[in-house]
Amino acid sequence: MTHDKTIDRRSFLQQIATVAGTGHLAPRLLVAAGSAGAAAAAQAQTDAGNRAPAVVTGAAGQTRRLAEYASSLRYENIPPDVIQRAKDTIADTVATIMFGGELPWSKMIAAYAKRNGPGGKSRILGVRDALVHAPSAALANGALAHAFELDNLTQPNSGSHPGATMLSSALAVAQEQGFDGRDLITAIVAGAEVMIRIGVATKHSNEEHGFHAPGTTGPFGAAVATGRLMQLDAEKMTNAIGIAASLAGGLLEFAKSGTGAMVKRLHLGRAAESGVLAASLAAEGFTGPVTAIEGEFGFLRVFCRDFDMDALTRGLGESYATRTIMMKRYACHITAHTPVDSTLELRGANGFKPEDVASISITGTERMVRVNNIPAPKDLMMAQYSIPFCVALALYRNPVDPRSFDETAVRNPEILGLASRVKMSVALPPDNRADLTSTVSITLKDGRTFTRRATAFKGTPERPFSQDELREKFLLLTRQYGEADMTRVFLRLQNLESEKSLDWVGA
């Protein structure tokens, strides 16, 4: 075999080590064998020494600054409204996990977690007598939280799901190591301040590469939340973030192929589990890159087509990204919420019936049209991802009750027939790709047309749930456990700062 264009692995690694020793690693370095290879290696080393640093000076130290902030955050310094948003996030997530535990794909993951993590002190919520070690609980609870499109996220959209990734991981560690309610609240805020900023910095362009955004941002939030519980100092927290960056993943192929939808739920479970792993290893002295987010081969440059580096630390310590967490009202993809809201409002105001509808037109963002315009979904998960289907279902069933989204709905000829008459197009001028604004026009068979434009919906920061509305959702999702018992759980979660133990959550 000739070696003119073949890189010997050992030689390649030796050359990388040589170049890396200069402080600058030349990307895509090719080393040929023999004397030509030696000359090429020498030239590469010279070139590397003359190159500017890979990390832009203005962005240097972003990973470390986030770690320093998270490790130094104290409960006493968190504003009351931010504490309340954290408690609401926790309560909302507990309910979504307990609802999710009843679903077939959730039972598969819970069974796996019970087999592989027995003997711990952490609970799989909604699965009675399921005590496992923290990583297994985080895996199961993260997947259960995202099991039915009900878990919270952020507005503006940061491509992150705070509760599913952070509560699932932090609660597992808190139960295993005996932390209290204040510790958990502080951990959630610390994780949110880091993860949401990382998500905003991606400009949601990681999904343009085919990555499922919360699977990529989630390990950061989970690592910081659990690291804060473990009281990692700034150095170890930096390592936790660095390790988490190498655990980011999750592909969007399920949304394109229309098959394998269960994997979508797994992405959030793996993110939560990865956070526990990253923080636990960092606590033992395991290291990760200190420029894991901003570096030349760091998270933003590798995962994203476009990014805003300054967003990583913009307002850090002055404003709270936790305030952007929003709750879902319907068991469908977040891009369907404003169209469903408008559909319900138009029907309520004008009194028409679904059989009166001739066609529906929806304008929205490019992302809505590219990803969520699925007029004939193949399964339940794709139906929840489909804006046409969710709008059609909202005219035939109550979309506030997640049990309306079931297998019978996916096969219902009336719902599918109306979904096929929903036409979607990109708003002109195009809205921001992270925006949720949509305009719905419903044309009736008698020729009348009703139109509504929506920029927000109940549950967003602009229109947050009241305590009564949050409790209503909590009790709706957990009704199989009894209203009296679940009311007591909700009230305890709303008074979480007074709880000295968290072993009762999920019991």
Instruction: In whole angstroms, give the CA distance from residue 414 to residue 281.
Output: 53
In this model, does residue 497 exceed pLDDT 60?
Answer: yes
**Stretch 219-234: mean pLDDT:** 98
pLDDT tens for each residue of 2-38: 333 333 433 333 433 333 333 333 333 223 334 334 4
Residue 441 scores a pLDDT above 80: yes
Tell me whether residue 421 is exposed, middle or buried, using C-beta atoms within 10 angstroms of its C-beta: 0 to 12, 13 to 18, 19 or more. Answer: middle
Give 23-28 contacts, CB < 8 A, sequence gap 24+.
23/53, 24/48, 24/49, 24/51, 24/53, 24/54, 25/54, 25/296, 26/51, 27/296, 27/297
Per-residue exposure over 470-506, b if at least 16 CB sit within 10 Å of its own CB, e if not: bbebbbebbeeeeeeebeebbebbbebbebeebeebb
Summarize pLDDT for 304-358 with one digit per residue, the tens. Answer: 999 999 999 999 999 999 999 999 999 999 999 999 999 999 999 999 999 999 9
Find, among 183, 198, 202, 190, the residue nearest to 166 by Cα. Answer: 190
Amino acid found at 106: S
Judge if the upstream peptide bond of residue 27 is cis by omega within 30 degrees of 0: no
- Can you tell me whether residue 499 is helix, strand or coil? coil
Q: How many CB atoms lie within 10 A of CB 231?
A: 12
Identify the CA nearest to 191 among candidates 222, 157, 229: 222
Report the pLDDT value the prediction gives residue 16, as an integer from 0 to 100: 31
112-121, 310-319, 433-442: least confident range: 433-442
C-alpha to C-alpha distance for 307 and 202, rounded to whole angstroms: 5
Calpha distance 342→442 (Å, rounded): 10
Percent of the chain with pLDDT over 90: 81
Rounded Cα distance between 427 and 310, Å, is 29
What is the structure's pLDDT at 347?
A: 98
Closest residue by Cα to residue 240 from 339, 170, 145, 296: 170
CB 372 within 8 A of CB 333: yes
Q: What's the whole-number mean pLDDT along residues 46-58?
A: 35
Q: Over the stretch 165-182, which tens digit does the pLDDT of each residue have?
A: 999 999 999 999 999 999
* pLDDT tier, 371 (very low <50, low <70, confident <90, very high otherwise): confident
Whole-prediction pTM: 0.87
d(CA 498, CA 492): 9
Decide if 316 contacts 197 (C-beta within 8 A).
Answer: yes
Residues 6+ apart with CB under 8 A from 166: 187, 188, 191, 192, 195, 221, 222, 225, 272, 275
Q: Give pLDDT, residue 138.
A: 98
Alpha-carbon span 67 to 191, nearest angstrom: 10
Mean pLDDT score, 461-485: 96
Indicate the DSSP class of residue 142: H
CA–CA distance, 223 with 217 (Å, rounded to integer): 10
Q: SS3 string of 438-489?
A: EEEEEEECCCCEEEEEECCCCCCCCCCCCHHHHHHHHHHHCHHHCHHHHHHH
Handedness of CA 326, 158, 366, 270 (dihedral sign): negative
**Is the backbone peptide bond immediately before 156 cis, with ω within 30 degrees of 0?**
yes
pLDDT at 461 (0 to 100): 94
The per-residue pLDDT for 20 is 35
Name the residue type at position 307. F
Once rounded to an integer, what is the mean pLDDT over residues 57-63?
68
- pLDDT at res. 433: 63
Look at residue 507 in the predicted model and tell me its pLDDT. Answer: 67
**Per-residue pLDDT for 434 more than 70?**
no
What's the pLDDT score for residue 431?
Answer: 62
pLDDT of 27:
31
Mean pLDDT of 237-260: 93
Confidence band of 64 (pLDDT split at 50, 70, 90): very high
For the chain, the average pLDDT equals 89
What is d(CA 258, CA 374) in angstroms, rounded to the nearest whole number? 10
| Under 8 Å between Cβ of 289 and 245 | yes
Specify whether the CB–CB gap between 243 and 472 falls below 8 A.
Answer: no
Q: Work out the pLDDT band at 503, boundaries 50, 70, 90.
A: very high
**Mean pLDDT computed over 223-246:** 98
- Name the maximum alpha-carbon separation found in the chain: 83
CB-based contacts of 179, cutoff 8 Å, min separation 6: 173, 187, 229, 502
Instruction: Determine the pLDDT at residue 23.
Output: 34
Segment 375-433, tens digit of pLDDT: 999 899 899 999 999 999 999 999 999 999 999 999 999 999 999 999 999 997 766 76
CA-based nearest residue to 72, from 186, 203, 226: 186
CA distance 375 to 133: 42
Q: Supply the pLDDT for residue 257.
A: 82
If one compares 366 and 348, the residue with the highest pLDDT of the two is: 348
